[in-house]
Chains A and B, each alone.
Chain A
């Protein structure tokens, strides 16, 4: 990995971390992880609330990181032959 890629990875991980923190907060302010789903019992991945929050957080982090990485990839690999006036 060259220096530039390393920095991109850092930025992707960090930016998605920040966004995931906000998303987790907003999401679980409205949703109780124990009450997700249709039946009366809590979903299997959220046996207790702390686990529910954590699973939610890592889910958001992964999703945001994916979007962030995709963006970085498209930005870094766009045409640089001068036909794009950026």
Chain B
């Protein structure tokens, strides 16, 4: 555990949960989050409706095992690209965490983003913090029933729409929309739509900060990426203490007081219900709501802003904050290399991919004239949007010949062809040999792709 963070008391993890009623807040960072929420959710809800080359721009067609991302088509064979992408995502998270702390949590995590929207809906129907608390404590009268059901209607409707959009990444969304309208969805479509909708409803409506506290793996390991120069949100205790209330006109120094007027607003706005003045805690998702709230108070008191602010441990201790340091340089360089490599790999993907599988049933066969034969199943996967005519040949073994039923094969656009190929060598070949099977286009498009395979001949005499 890094020294910057205070461990929560171990009993705290298992203490009874108290509902958090985050108070509404306005200010610079809140504006930033609103923009981020709208942009990210906008992309999520709009993307499946965008069309490209006459079909859905982003579609993960699981039944057909094809994945469309704008102009590109991916097949399960491209799985390493996805792995690569995930490594890039993980490394970016490390990089940004080392640089700026839990930026991800405060502005971009789906948990934060959907919770924010759900809190908005809660506010529209149940009112501000005070009203929400009173409503929850009050009796079930007409007003409470009305407000609560309005909230539930909004939440459930939005969750279902979210589930629908989610499934729309896997099933053509216009078709899905028609199926929803006529209630003729397939059983798996129903299942995943309700499943994802319910997960959204539960996580954003009820679990909220508990997801961050109990379920999120990132929340547990992010502190390993922190150091003295990482951007954190911190309360300036030297300036704020001793805290205490005072009339506005009074000079705090004359009463031996710091700048914190102990109004508790920073605690009330906190979505995770913690007090930032107790120091940086594991629960803090760095949403900066307390900064906005405190700046507001400071302005009203006509004190300078920034009693709670983005800073670093080094700065708090009077040192200079270093952005360039071994950790950020290493993460940054690795990140740039990986991203560049990824684009290169995507750009250089063979348009027609070849897979070679040796026949499992027989090691080899001796023909009447003494030649030795191995049988292979060769799969050609055409990732292009045009058909290609392909011819096969073998390399790497002297005098080896490859025979197929037809001289060439046409692989349809995004199609797959399975070919049985026989490779023959003279009887003098012994033992296992490495060969290469090559598919070349005969239509002048210059497509070529190779795969390694093993040829098995009888062992030495």
Interface residues, chain A, with chain B CB atoms under 8 Å away: 3-4, 7, 10-11, 14, 18, 25-26, 28-30, 32, 48-51, 53-54
Q: How far is the CB of B279 from chain A (nearest CB, A)?
A: 26
Q: Which listed residue (A14, A30, A50) contacts B188, Cβ 8 A?
A: A50
Closest 5 CB pairs of A and B: A29-B79, A50-B188, A29-B76, A49-B63, A14-B215
Do the beta carbons of B79 and A7 come within 8 Å of each other?
no
CA distance in complex: A68, B252 (Å):
56
Write out the residue numbers on chain B whose beta carbons fall within 8 Å of the beta carbon of A25. Answer: 82
The chain A residue with its CB closest to the CB of B63 is A49
Contact with A along B62-89 (1 / 0, CB 8 A): 1101000000000010010010000000
Do the beta carbons of A7 and B65 come within 8 Å of each other?
no
Write out the residue numbers on chain A whose beta carbons fall within 8 Å of the beta carbon of B52. Answer: none
Q: How far is the CB of A24 from chain B (nearest CB, A)?
A: 11
Write out the residue numbers on chain B whose beta carbons fall within 8 Å of the beta carbon of A26. Answer: 79
Do the beta carbons of B214 and A7 come within 8 Å of each other?
yes
Q: How far is the CB of A46 from chain B (nearest CB, A)?
A: 12
Q: How far is the CB of A19 from chain B (nearest CB, A)?
A: 11
Write out the residue numbers on chain A whose beta carbons fall within 8 Å of the beta carbon of B79. Answer: 26, 29-30
CA distance in complex: A3, B16 (Å):
9
> A11-B214, A28-B76 known; A49 and B65 CB under 8 Å?
yes
The chain A residue with its CB closest to the CB of B188 is A50
26 A-B pairs with C-beta separation under 8 A = A3-B14, A3-B16, A4-B14, A7-B14, A7-B214, A10-B214, A10-B215, A14-B215, A18-B217, A25-B82, A26-B79, A29-B79, A29-B82, A30-B76, A30-B79, A32-B76, A48-B63, A49-B62, A49-B63, A49-B65, A50-B62, A50-B63, A50-B188, A53-B62, A54-B188, A54-B191
Do the beta carbons of A32 and B65 come within 8 Å of each other?
yes
The chain A residue with its CB closest to the CB of B65 is A32
CA distance in complex: A54, B188 (Å):
9
CA distance in complex: A48, B62 (Å):
11
Interface residues, chain B, with chain A CB atoms under 8 Å away: 14, 16, 62-63, 65, 76, 79, 82, 186, 188, 191, 214-215, 217
Write out the residue numbers on chain A whose beta carbons fall within 8 Å of the beta carbon of B65. Answer: 32, 49
Write out the residue numbers on chain A whose beta carbons fall within 8 Å of the beta carbon of B215. Answer: 10, 14
The chain B residue with its CB closest to the CB of A6 is B14
CA distance in complex: A3, B217 (Å):
21
Write out the residue numbers on chain A whose beta carbons fall within 8 Å of the beta carbon of B82. Answer: 25, 29
The chain A residue with its CB closest to the CB of B210 is A10
Write out the residue numbers on chain A whose beta carbons fall within 8 Å of the beta carbon of B63. Answer: 48-50
Write out the residue numbers on chain A whose beta carbons fall within 8 Å of the beta carbon of B188. Answer: 50-51, 54
The chain A residue with its CB closest to the CB of B186 is A50
The chain B residue with its CB closest to the CB of A50 is B188
CA distance in complex: A49, B186 (Å):
13
Write out the residue numbers on chain B whose beta carbons fall within 8 Å of the beta carbon of A30. Answer: 76, 79
Q: How far is the CB of A76 from chain B (nearest CB, A)?
A: 13
Write out the residue numbers on chain B whose beta carbons fall within 8 Å of the beta carbon of A14. Answer: 215
Write out the residue numbers on chain B whose beta carbons fall within 8 Å of the beta carbon of A4. Answer: 14
CA distance in complex: A49, B63 (Å):
6
CA distance in complex: A74, B16 (Å):
25
CA distance in complex: A26, B83 (Å):
9
CA distance in complex: A25, B217 (Å):
19
Q: How far is the CB of A86 from chain B (nearest CB, A)?
A: 13
Write out the residue numbers on chain B whose beta carbons fall within 8 Å of the beta carbon of A48. Answer: 63
CA distance in complex: A29, B79 (Å):
6
The chain B residue with its CB closest to the CB of A29 is B79
Q: How far is the CB of B221 from chain A (nearest CB, A)?
A: 14
CA distance in complex: A30, B79 (Å):
8
The chain A residue with its CB closest to the CB of B79 is A29
The chain A residue with its CB closest to the CB of B13 is A7
The chain B residue with its CB closest to the CB of A14 is B215
Write out the residue numbers on chain B whose beta carbons fall within 8 Å of the beta carbon of A28. Answer: 76
CA distance in complex: A64, B201 (Å):
25
CA distance in complex: A18, B220 (Å):
15
CA distance in complex: A25, B16 (Å):
36
CA distance in complex: A48, B217 (Å):
34
Write out the residue numbers on chain A whose beta carbons fall within 8 Å of the beta carbon of B14. Answer: 3-4, 7
Write out the residue numbers on chain A whose beta carbons fall within 8 Å of the beta carbon of B217. Answer: 18
CA distance in complex: A10, B13 (Å):
13
A3, A49, A50, A54, most chain B CB atoms within 10 A: A50
CA distance in complex: A17, B188 (Å):
18
Q: How far is the CB of B161 from chain A (nearest CB, A)?
A: 22
Write out the residue numbers on chain B whose beta carbons fall within 8 Å of the beta carbon of A51. Answer: 188
CA distance in complex: A53, B188 (Å):
11
Write out the residue numbers on chain B whose beta carbons fall within 8 Å of the beta carbon of A3. Answer: 14, 16
CA distance in complex: A14, B191 (Å):
19
Other than the given A10-B214, A50-B188, 12 more pairs (CB < 8 A) read: A7-B214, A10-B215, A25-B82, A29-B76, A29-B82, A30-B79, A48-B63, A49-B65, A50-B62, A50-B186, A51-B188, A54-B188
